[in-house]
Amino acid sequence: MSQSLGFVGVGNMGAPMAGRLLDAGYALTIFDQRADAMQPLLAKGALSASSAAALASAVETVFVSLPTPEIVKEVTLCTGGLSSGTRIKTFVDLSTTGPRTAQELAKALAEKGIAALDSPVSGGVGGAQKGTLAVMVSGPKERFEAVQPLLQVIGKVFYLGEKPGLGQTMKLVNNLLSATALAITSEAMVMGVKAGLDPQVMLDVINAGSGRNSASQDKFPKAILPRTFDFGFANGLMYKDVKLCLEEASAMGVPMWVASAVRQMWLLACTEMGPDKDFTTIVKCVEKWAGVEVSGKR
């Protein structure tokens, strides 16, 4: 395939997404502040750029996967950033930044003749590796249609409209539900174990009934009952997403009382467990209070 692409940010999520594009036969130029993060992709045939601007001067379509809105804005708009590139025509942001950041980026890039698509993804590291992510896209439809085949390499693509930020709003809504499910399922499971219920039997019942959710179906059986706590997403990132969602809701005048309590739970997980720890460790906060452990190792 002749189309050459750029990818900025090849960490936990970026690396497998970039790897899938390479495996699909696309020429890929990558940039990351950490040289060690780039090595596995360079070994697979990717080229490296010396800076974000250099990458954006080498290719027309650039994907970005970075941890925070502030980092995305810096890499994109600062001196020596992507917007300084001479060849870039399309900017595809796979990060979770919130709609207001997406709108700010779209406006600034449009002034330089660059089309912006906010295209956050959901499905975790496992989904990125398997190419089964949910990809939520908004921005100019013509430009979306041009990159849709590329996005289909990494997951199932949903086009949400022309307005910048719609993809980001969808992602924040999705992650709020995910964060809430894990927080409340942690409380429910600890309560049941404290009462004497077997946690595996609890999950079997919940998943056969009306309480089933993403935490009971995936996170508890795969990372909490085995006590591996390795699902692949950090407490700090989940707290960031919930906080972003509440900030956007507040700006729109939408009340979020339940979400406010969920945000406090994730702040506690960051404080007690650490922001870099896997987000499944949130259950340990509740276990600590209750004096029990939700474990399949009995």
Catalytic (active-site) positions: 171
CA quadruple 159, 171, 231, 227: dihedral sign: negative
Helix axes 235-252, 99-110, angle to 10 degrees: 80
- Residues 63/3, Cβ–Cβ less than 8 Å: no
Q: Are 279 and 215 in contact (CB under 8 A)?
A: no
The C-alpha atoms of residue 193 and residue 294 are separated, in whole angstroms, by 7
* Strand extents, DSSP E, the chain: 4-8, 27-31, 47-48, 61-64, 90-93, 115-118, 121-122, 133-138, 155-161
Distance, CA of 151 to CA of 167 (rounded, Å): 14
How far is 183 from 27, CA to CA, in rounded Å? 41
Cα(25)–Cα(235) distance, integer angstroms:
35
Give CA separation, 139 vs 15, 103, 114, 145, 284, in Å.
Answer: 24, 10, 12, 10, 41
Q: Which residues contact 118 (CB under 8 A, 6 or more apart)?
A: 93, 97, 99, 102, 105, 106, 137, 138, 139, 164, 165, 166, 167, 168
CA angle 220, 235, 70 (to 5 degrees): 145
* Residue 274 token pair: 């650490």
